[in-house]
Structure 1
Amino acid sequence: MNQDKKTGSSGVSRRDFLKSAAVAGAMGAAVLAAPRILHAQNKGDAIRLGVIGTGTEGRVLINSVLKCQKEENVTFTALCDIWPHYRTYTAKLLGKYKQPVTEYEDYHDMLDTEKGKIDSVIVATPDWVHHEHAIACLEAKLDVYCEKEMSNTIENAKKMVEASKKTGKLLQIGHQRRSNPRYHIMLDYIRNKKACGRMTNVEGCWNRSKPLSVEWAESTALDAATLKKYGYDSMEHLRNWRWYKKYSGGPIADLGSHQVDIFHWMIGCPPISVMASGGTDNYPKMEWYDNVIAIYEWPEEVDGVKHIIRGNYNLYSTTSNGGYQEVFMGTEGAVIISEDATKGGLRREYTAPEADWEKELRKTLGAADKAQSEQKKESGEGKAAESASDIKTSHSVPSPGRYYPPIAAPLPPKTEHQPHLENFFHAIRGTEKLNCPGEVGYETAVSILKVNEAVAAEKKLAFSPEEFKV
């Protein structure tokens, strides 16, 4: 779950990346660009994995690897964590899956001892040490899958990208939605099928109500000397690092980065400005904001006319109302997406002409919901002239338009992180490009960390194009 310090990244233009991420067919899988063959590890050779950080997120990733372990020919070799309580627990779990691993407290020892015995490393430690662990692994000629957020500082995130470029090793950032088949399908609806028409607004949220602090049994606590050695002021800081400025960018970076990343991906570029409000209104003892509302602006040009896409993102820590989702709205409809497969769908304004893809989708989905079957009545097709009273109320009680439920991906169910890890393994073997290389993850890091600056500044902050480059 933990380790030591930091680093940074940048590169590929968002629009270029989008060109390679288009999707074919209403229910089709993602079409990836021809891979740039950086690695040609034989499919017959196992990819030997080390893991730095065996906390909750580390174990989530380990579980996802186990789901595809045989198909991808991946084996676990070593685990590293400064907290033996998690490290040994995870090692025992892997043992049950016939994956014997060597345990390490210090990542330096793991890299030295396992030299030539591991090919890649998953880094799932607190944000402030991501750069330290990722760079050390890259310099050891190992490919790296690093959990988001890349770092709690732009400088260290940039160093991560630079290290990947210098060493020629892969750096995948854990924005796993970029490999989610349902998100690729919705990307196709937004960018190719123009389900929204001209995009005008986006919104997203991640709201949850849960206990503020993560507890620990006193018998498992690290001694003061070990905590100090690895940079933690107390066991409280080790366990609840997300709430402290030394170790994290706060909940907005921890959770919000996932969805702001999706904004950039679907729109096709990073933002040009952000303003934000937030505070420690509910948990005043914590350092980072427990609720944040951010407003972004993105540039857009359609048929030679320049527009601004405005979007809001909110993160609340006292309510789970709204859950987590992203909504893309435009002149003809809206696309609602979420990692929660039961949420989302497509909504077309009743004024929007019926598109060919709607007809195909209706065939695929079968009978649509009641709102759709009422569409002709609501839109006025075949209806007698409206009365004066109808006209007076129609603008305040608008038609719901045509709604299509969430679209399932035509693939067997997988964990949320599994497709992104599979993409990483395929990139190692040279058959795919990374879906979220360091350069792309860096753009999101710049965008999300500036939210905290905007809250502190109490004003709108502009981004320059240079900020997103490494």
Structure 2
Amino acid sequence: MSKQTCRTTRRRFLQGAAATTAAFTIIPRHCLGGASAPSDKLRIAGIGVGGRGAGDINDVAGEAIIALCDVDEGRAKGTFEKFPDARRYKDYRVMLDKEEGNIDAVVIGAPDHVHAPAAMMAIRKKKHVYCEKPLTHTIYEARALTQAAKEYGVVTQMGNQGHAGEGIRLTYEFIKDGAIGTVREVHGWSDRPIWPQGIERPTDRPPVPKTLDWNLWLGPSPERPYHPAYVPFNWRGWLDWGTGAMGDMAVHNLDPAFFCLGLGSPDWVEAEVDNRYKETWPQWQILTYHFPATDKHPELIMKWFDGGKKPPRPAELEEGRNLGSNGIIFLGDKGTVMCGSHAGAPVLIP
């Protein structure tokens, strides 16, 4: 294969999800110095292929889907049927061991608490990884994966689909061209959670569905009895497995702030919540991040609102224009930029 083809493939990888909601590509082995493959198709395995993971696998259906893993045969039924030649597994550890020599990359669409252990095992086997957001369940896990990816020299990508769109780049141009002056405050928000939070753990013990391997679903998390209050969707609100509204949507809606302003780490954070809960994330929260001045930006405040809370309406916002259910606002000395969810449809205000 020519060098030009390899360069094109690298560009395709960096484009990420520009073409579709979650499409992605990973550099083939022969462009990274590996043996030439019999075709240009990547050999992919999927972990968590019902729900969101089904969309991720469908977006790479043009590649070679070698193996699929899901702990719930019923939820993954549609994906299994779409790829009848793919070998099926319930335990991703078994799949990665057995398919190690047959795959180039892994797509992870399982719940948050499984992201880090599944990605780490794949990386240590020198498999490229696409992992849905949020990347991990804890900050420590994210740091460990970052180090492992560097150590093993693999290509990685997180499912932050808006980052590959045109909206975030237009926002960047607005800010860097000085259209709103110096940005000193940023507000991001989401209508999430759209699942229960701030509730007590259920005490009844319904039977586990026949299609679900509950022990494998729990993975590295604490042992809990099965309950439909957790799966297939509402695990997002529970501390054991999810990251709440912020982990679900701030990764999208605050991403433009980090990308456009070059933000590093805050030096202090303040949290306002409706209450503290032992088992779940709060019903709503307002988080304030303070970023000290650097050579990239002045002292800056960033706020996050969820659970029905929203930032103050900018005085310059035209009558009849709503903030929307999700978005971000950059407040500058000379004006304001407002984006929708995933940095979509940025507009200058006024």
Using structure 2 for the length normalisation, give the TM-score.
0.73
Provide the residue aligned with 2:79 in structure 1. Answer: 90
Aligned counterparts of 1:299 and 1:113: Cα–Cα separation in 2: 49
Provide the secondary structure at the position in 2 that maps to 1:125: coil
Question: Given the alignment, which residue of 180, 202, 205 partners 1:196?
Answer: 180
Deviation at 1:301, TM superposition (A): 5.2
The code of the aligned residue for 1:289 comes to P
Aligned counterparts of 2:66 and 2:292: Cα–Cα separation in 1: 46
Residues 1:57 and 1:318: Cα distance change in structure 2 (over 3 Å):
farther
Deviation at 1:317, TM superposition (A): 5.5
* Equivalent pair of 1:227/1:233 in contact (CA under 8 Å): no
Residues 1:224 and 1:267: Cα distance change in structure 2 (over 3 Å):
closer
Deviation at 1:222, TM superposition (A): 3.2
* Equivalent pair of 1:301/1:307 in contact (CA under 8 Å): yes
* Equivalent pair of 1:196/1:333 in contact (CA under 8 Å): yes
Provide the residue aligned with 2:283 in structure 1. Answer: 290
Provide the secondary structure at the position in 2 that maps to 1:332: coil
Provide the secondary structure at the position in 1 that maps to 2:75: helix
Provide the secondary structure at the position in 2 that maps to 1:65: coil
* Equivalent pair of 1:121/1:144 in contact (CA under 8 Å): yes
Deviation at 1:150, TM superposition (A): 2.0
Once the two structures are superposed, residues 78-124 of structure 1 have per-residue CA deviations (whole angstroms, 9 ceiling, x without a partner) of 111111112333211345xxxx3111001122112222221101111
Aligned counterparts of 2:342 and 2:299: Cα–Cα separation in 1: 29
Provide the secondary structure at the position in 2 that maps to 1:165: helix
The code of the aligned residue for 1:166 comes to E
Question: Given the alignment, which residue of 258, 263, 266 partners 2:257?
Answer: 263
Aligned counterparts of 1:76 and 1:269: Cα–Cα separation in 2: 38
The code of the aligned residue for 2:225 comes to S
Residues 1:188 and 1:54: Cα distance change in structure 2 (over 3 Å):
same
Residues 1:337 and 1:38: Cα distance change in structure 2 (over 3 Å):
farther
Residues 1:255 and 1:273: Cα distance change in structure 2 (over 3 Å):
same
Provide the secondary structure at the position in 2 that maps to 1:77: strand
Provide the residue aligned with 1:246 in structure 2. Answer: 240
Deviation at 1:217, TM superposition (A): 10
Aligned counterparts of 1:160 and 1:207: Cα–Cα separation in 2: 30
The code of the aligned residue for 1:328 comes to F
Once the two structures are superposed, residues 117-172 of structure 1 have per-residue CA deviations (whole angstroms, 9 ceiling, x without a partner) of 21101111222221110011111111001112222222222211121111111121
1:52 aligns with 2:54: no
1:329 aligns with 2:313: no
Residues 1:328 and 1:234: Cα distance change in structure 2 (over 3 Å):
same
Q: How does 1:28-43 map to 2 (within 5 A)?
A: 39=32
* Equivalent pair of 1:293/1:315 in contact (CA under 8 Å): yes
Once the two structures are superposed, residues 301-346 of structure 1 have per-residue CA deviations (whole angstroms, 9 ceiling, x without a partner) of 579xx83121211011599983111111201122212247875411
Provide the residue aligned with 2:347 in structure 1. Answer: 345
Aligned counterparts of 1:280 and 1:49: Cα–Cα separation in 2: 43
- Can you give the 5+ residue segments of structure 2 that lack an aligned partner in the other structure? 1-13, 16-29, 198-205, 311-321
The code of the aligned residue for 2:307 comes to Y
Structure scoring higher RCO (CA < 8 A, sep ≥ 6) equals 1
Aligned counterparts of 2:117 and 2:107: Cα–Cα separation in 1: 13
- Can you give the 5+ residue segments of structure 1 that lack an aligned partner in the other structure? 1-19, 22-36, 348-400, 402-470
* Equivalent pair of 1:122/1:146 in contact (CA under 8 Å): yes
The code of the aligned residue for 1:334 comes to T
Q: How does 1:434-453 map to 2 (within 5 A)?
A: none
1:177 aligns with 2:162: yes
Q: How does 1:392-407 map to 2 (within 5 A)?
A: 401=350
1:119 aligns with 2:104: yes
Aligned counterparts of 1:238 and 1:315: Cα–Cα separation in 2: 22
Once the two structures are superposed, residues 14-52 of structure 1 have per-residue CA deviations (whole angstroms, 9 ceiling, x without a partner) of xxxxxx99xxxxxxxxxxxxxxx9836779510111110
* Equivalent pair of 2:253/2:342 in contact (CA under 8 Å): no
Residues 1:196 and 1:321: Cα distance change in structure 2 (over 3 Å):
closer
Aligned-pair Cα RMSD in Å: 3.4
Deviation at 1:288, TM superposition (A): 1.2
Aligned counterparts of 1:280 and 1:40: Cα–Cα separation in 2: 54
Provide the residue aligned with 2:65 in structure 1. Answer: 76
Which 4+ runs in 1 deviate beyond 4 A?
A: 40-44, 216-221, 223-232, 317-321, 340-343
Higher Cα radius of gyration: 1
Using structure 1 for the length normalisation, give the TM-score.
0.56
From the two aligned structures, give the one with the greater helix fraction.
1
Provide the residue aligned with 2:306 in structure 1. Answer: 315
Provide the residue aligned with 1:151 in structure 2. Answer: 136
Aligned counterparts of 2:344 and 2:207: Cα–Cα separation in 1: 36
Question: Given the alignment, which residue of 101, 107, 110 partners 2:86?
Answer: 101
The percent identity for this pair of structures is 26
* Equivalent pair of 1:251/1:290 in contact (CA under 8 Å): no
Once the two structures are superposed, residues 177-221 of structure 1 have per-residue CA deviations (whole angstroms, 9 ceiling, x without a partner) of 221122112212212x122211121111111474539xx997556
> How many residues are aligned here?
297
Provide the residue aligned with 2:191 in structure 1. Answer: 207
